[in-house]
Amino acid sequence: MRNRFLVGAGVALAMALSSADASAQFLAMPSGPGAWYFGGEGGWTMLSNAKGSRAGIETTQHFKDGFNIGARAGYEWGPWRLEEEFSFRQNGIGSVAIRGANFNTTGNRDTYAFMTNLIYDFTFGWPVTPHIGGGIGAVNLHDSWGIPGIGNLASSSTWVFGYQGIRVFATTSTRPWRSISTTAT
């Protein structure tokens, strides 16, 4: 699976200026009932070049930076969270090299990811809460590209197994839009 990096839509200045409640427990165990939550996500994506071959003809796709938008809903019980996530990512295909000849292209690589994530929140009493976690799920990859003036040359769609590691620094305030995250999938 190709590496993808997601940098959340949070603003560091907003984090630094926000006030937050603090908790002095580390690795706190759950007490009492949990809580349902939901939220949105958005950010920037970057893909590595993709190499492949068909009928002995080698190709390399060169991707442009793109965007990510999605939603998540889950259940939080103490420091543990179990959630479902949907994410749409789009990266433009800037050029394709076929047997060493480079062609400017139009088109996109789109992904539709359905993931189940397990996340642990560390409560150090800081104004930010580090989280770690991971997820697995299904991802639909859709490529469509062509050469300007010639037309669409390729289009494909396939489902693949998806996985991701999650590491996040988010404010502990009730303002969920104030976070910075990095996710590798």
- CATH class of the structural domain 4-28+62-184: mainly beta
Q: Which pLDDT tens digit goes with each residue over 128-138?
A: 788 899 999 99
- Within 148-177, strands assigned E span 151-171
Select from 70, 74, 90, 91 the least CA-distant residue to 82. Answer: 74
- What are phi and psi for residue 14, nearest 5 degrees? -65, -40
CA distance 31 to 79: 10
Whether 39 contacts 71, CB under 8 Å: yes
CA distance 169 to 182: 9
- pLDDT band at residue 177 under the 50/70/90 scheme: very low
Q: Which pLDDT tens digit goes with each residue over 16-37?
A: 333 344 444 444 555 567 899 9
Cα angle 185, 10, 79 (rounded to 5 degrees) comes to 70
CA distance 161 to 157: 14
Query: What is the DSSP secondary structure assignment for residue 30, as one 8-state letter?
Result: P
Domain boundaries, the chain: 4-28+62-184
Q: What is the mean pLDDT of residues 68-89?
A: 95
User: What is the model's pTM?
Assistant: 0.69
CA distance 102 to 145: 14
Q: Considering only CA atoms, give the Rg of the chain.
A: 20
Local structure of 47: helix, strand or coil: strand
Asked if the model's pLDDT at residue 162 lies above 60, the reply is: yes
Check residue 109 and give its pLDDT.
93
